[in-house]
Structure 1
Amino acid sequence: MPVSSESKPSASGPLSHLTVLDLSRILAGPWTTQILADLGARVIKVESISGDDTRRWGPPFLTREAEDASIEGSDAAYFTCCNRNKESVCVDFSKPEGAELIRKLAGSADILVENFKVGGLKKYGLDYASLQKVNPRLVYCSITGFGQTGPYASRAGYDFLIQGMGGLMSITGHPETEERRAEPLKTGVAITDEFTGMYAATSILAAIASREQTGEGQHIDCSLFDCQVAMLANQGSNWLVGKRTPKPMGNNHPNLVPYRAYPVQDGHVIIACGNDRQYRSLCDVLELKALGEDPRFLTNADRVANRAELESLLEERLAHFPRERIINLLEIAGVPCGPINTIPEVFEDPQVIAREMVVPMKRADGFEIPTVAFPAKFSGTPANYRSAPPRLGDRTHALLAEDLALDQATIENLVKSGVVA
């Protein structure tokens, strides 16, 4: 059954005591705040009068017949991926009255997340230095392309750009051959934005833990570029330690063999051998026992050194197997393997269904919005799904009346002057 939105959903969960003022838009910031919201925090999403840009990043839109975002209720699917469990409030804080409303909200908030350009909120009195005077306990997280310092601090940064500058695109894609040059390739989702959101959420929770000890909030400077560099992981270490410049390897792994996608009779299968036992088990399944005992391939280091010879032999043998048969045989033998699923196949997968990874939600106006569940399963304080991704400004008037105690006449004047919507 879909989870229905209420006018003001009651929060539960480990973060239900926290209020987040979300001044972010697009993906990295909203990804951060949705994590906090799923874990129970109250998230007030402050949008411009026209709304978060991603409401128009379609098709597809919520209404199937919509070709653009001009139809009522036709928010783009993109917006729904990272704005669950939030209250939408439309405030134009470029106007003094709007900025004052945000300052009042910040005075009682625990966390503020923003992703404006460096210094972009200072002119409104909404920067950390200004709000820290209003609320010394405020944890203020700034998400930018390149951080608050350094020669690139003033630059705008989008995921695609950062994937390139941060090295990810130099190691993603097909390897260079005599016939074809390697072409830089980004990932299929904005993964730098998403990982930045995860780092930001983790950092915010660490700052909240620190506040419990010191009573003081702090400023968190979180950049897409820094996060992408951190996410180079073993590839970064391969360079730092061994001075080896990683290059695109297609589906190969720089440090493990066999560890890639192999063509079979009716598609491809991924085989991922992480140790020598798994490799020998693979050879047994393929009835290539001698290959498992070949001195050239006994250890992983041997197999990496003799990658081309081994891969050729494995490819030749695997080409005789149907996909499902080889997967079944390898699973029985304890060799990590699996198919390459399309997105529809992912959501039809029995494991995805068993883990309840799709959460259907119903917005207050009746629109049903399927969303992807929070992935971690808690034994005592699970993530909860209180409200669907909101309509633009669905809580503006109620918040002004309930949280800021403004009377109806004052609210109407703010609407007429274009401060709120």
Structure 2
Amino acid sequence: MAKKAREVEINSREDTLPLMGPDVRPWPVTPPPSPEEVAAVYARRKAEEFGKWCEDNLRIDYARGKPEALQGVRVLSCGQWRMGHKFASGLLSELGAELINVEPPTGDPLRKLSPFGREEYMLEDKNGDKCGLDFIHELRNAYSVTINLETEKGRELYTKLAQHADILIEEYPPGYMDNLGIGYRQLSQINPKLIYCWIGEHGQWGPMKDRVSKYGQWMLDPFGQAACSFIHNTGFPEDLLPRGKGGDPTRSGVWFADYVAGEQTAVNALAALFWRDEFSGEGQFIETTAAEALMDILDFDITWYGFNKSIKARTGGWDPNLNQYAWNPCKDGYMMIGGQTDRLWYRIGMCIERELPIFGRLIHEDPLLKEMAARNALQALTKTYTMTAMWLRNINRVEAEEKLMEYEIAAGPLLYIDEVAEFPHFKYRPWVNVLEDEQYGTLMYSEATTAYQMRTPARVKWLGRPLGHDNAEIFMKYIGLGQSELRELKEQGVI
């Protein structure tokens, strides 16, 4: 049943694509598999007992009544345009930390960011104010307060909030907060236990600390990608495509460097929290740069260069270490096939040559391709993937996966985002989910990746809130301000 539903989903994309405009797409289009269907899968895999045990202990549906790992931890987050501090603080808030996001009274400009600049792709709150989807999706479980840090009273408010914070994450230009008198050096004097995290591109010290941020201090993610060779080795090589059609580097459209820096910042903050509470009793200053964080996950590029001066070239979707190990076009999209061992390599060939006998003659009988290392030469990759694409071009993804699975081959289709939303596996867990937001209505989102914890699972309680939505609650709770004082501060442009 699940396989049949998936086939309908993949083969009927035109019927399930979201309509242009503000209408909310109905979800799910098809129901998730039933527990009985999933139990049958467990039985086929001889994992009835363990599969059921995992489900009983890890399902997100059961998370609400469980404790939170970071309950009682307070996080203060601030910055504009950037995604690193939002992602880092959001990860901590999903684990139970109380998160206060600070914006200027005019709002973070990221609130106005929308695909193609189209207002109809923004969400409207109960007051009629519109906000971009990027901002809403990443401000998870965050209380929204506004403070004008350029004013003396605003800095006083911010300092008083920081007195109550365990972790502070900021992503302003190098030295900006220190120059205002509200950086780590000043705040740690009044809150010695404060863990202060700064996120940037190249760092706040060193010869290039101001090179980029002086002129483009808010939107720096592309420079982080550029500074660590990520952009250089992403894209198609020149000799695989017709002249003028390839060979250029490709930047990730997603703010990848900022997200990676945010992830590393959250890890650093948790390590510092453990050190403070278990050993030193003191907070500390932490710096994370996007360029260096992204460099850390670029495979062996830097080690390879140090070994024999090699500069890794652009290889598109091909892996220079493995053949086959890439996606190839098929009738209705693309198919990923993995042949990283001799066993898988020959099984792929056995599967393909049933319907394309020439594959066996040209690939399996080629002496160059007998050894795994030789298969990774450019001409070997080109020959192998050309023949594989000849087979795939006449079948769709579901058919290709079924045929390859018969030979116990690692394979899977490249899914479009509408298929991800309707993927039976993700709907059943459910990793793709919806919540009813009091401000924005029904919102579809991806669950926290730290949600699958047995005893203290992460959870998403709400997504981004309207600007300054929580001013009264937060300022009254932590600073003791009354309604008349809040009104006065608002009239003065402080909040």
TM-score (norm 1): 0.90
Deviations 1:367-418 (A, max 9, x none): 3332221123111111122223111111101211121112333222212211
Unaligned stretches of 5+ residues in structure 2: 1-26, 28-63, 214-218, 354-358
Amino acid at match of 2:350: D
The answer to whether residue 406 in structure 2 is matched with residue 335 in structure 1 is no
* CA 388–103 in structure 1, closer or farther in 2 if over 3 Å, else same: same
Aligned to 2:283: 217
Aligned to 2:235: 173
Aligned to 2:223: 161
Moved more, 299-308 or 187-196: 299-308
1:35-50 alignment, distance < 5 Å: 35-50=91-106
Structure 1 CA distance for aligned equivalents of residues 186 and 121 of structure 2 = 46
Amino acid at match of 2:382: A
The answer to whether residue 436 in structure 2 is matched with residue 362 in structure 1 is yes
* CA 67–367 in structure 1, closer or farther in 2 if over 3 Å, else same: closer
Aligned to 1:19: 74
Would the aligned equivalents of 2:164 and 2:478 in 1 still touch at CA under 8 Å? no
The answer to whether residue 250 in structure 2 is matched with residue 185 in structure 1 is yes
Cα shift at 1:233: 1.9
Aligned to 1:227: 293
The answer to whether residue 180 in structure 2 is matched with residue 118 in structure 1 is no
Structure 1 CA distance for aligned equivalents of residues 65 and 488 of structure 2 = 29
Aligned alpha-carbon RMSD (Å): 2.7
Selected match of 2:492 from 414, 417, 420: 417
Selected match of 1:378 from 424, 449, 453: 453
Would the aligned equivalents of 2:427 and 2:433 in 1 still touch at CA under 8 Å? no
Would the aligned equivalents of 1:363 and 1:389 in 2 still touch at CA under 8 Å? no
Structure 2 CA distance for aligned equivalents of residues 309 and 252 of structure 1 = 13
Structure 1 CA distance for aligned equivalents of residues 101 and 263 of structure 2 = 18
Amino acid at match of 1:409: S
Deviations 1:28-79 (A, max 9, x none): 110111000111000000111011211100148998486999x823111111
Structure 2 CA distance for aligned equivalents of residues 62 and 313 of structure 1 = 43
Aligned to 1:107: 163
Percent same amino acid among aligned pairs?
A: 26
Structure 1 CA distance for aligned equivalents of residues 292 and 122 of structure 2 = 38
* CA 62–72 in structure 1, closer or farther in 2 if over 3 Å, else same: farther
Selected match of 2:374 from 261, 278, 302: 302
Would the aligned equivalents of 1:276 and 1:298 in 2 still touch at CA under 8 Å? no
Deviations 1:158-216 (A, max 9, x none): 11222222211111112102623511211231111111111111111111111121111
Would the aligned equivalents of 1:297 and 1:310 in 2 still touch at CA under 8 Å? no
Would the aligned equivalents of 1:62 and 1:73 in 2 still touch at CA under 8 Å? no
Cα shift at 1:266: 3.8
The answer to whether residue 254 in structure 2 is matched with residue 198 in structure 1 is no
Structure 1 CA distance for aligned equivalents of residues 137 and 174 of structure 2 = 26
Amino acid at match of 1:244: S
Structure 2 CA distance for aligned equivalents of residues 135 and 46 of structure 1 = 18
* CA 242–67 in structure 1, closer or farther in 2 if over 3 Å, else same: same
Structure 2 CA distance for aligned equivalents of residues 311 and 182 of structure 1 = 19
Cα shift at 1:99: 0.6
Deviations 1:254-312 (A, max 9, x none): 21111112233443211122222111111111135664475422332121133333334
Aligned to 2:422: 348
Cα shift at 1:361: 2.8
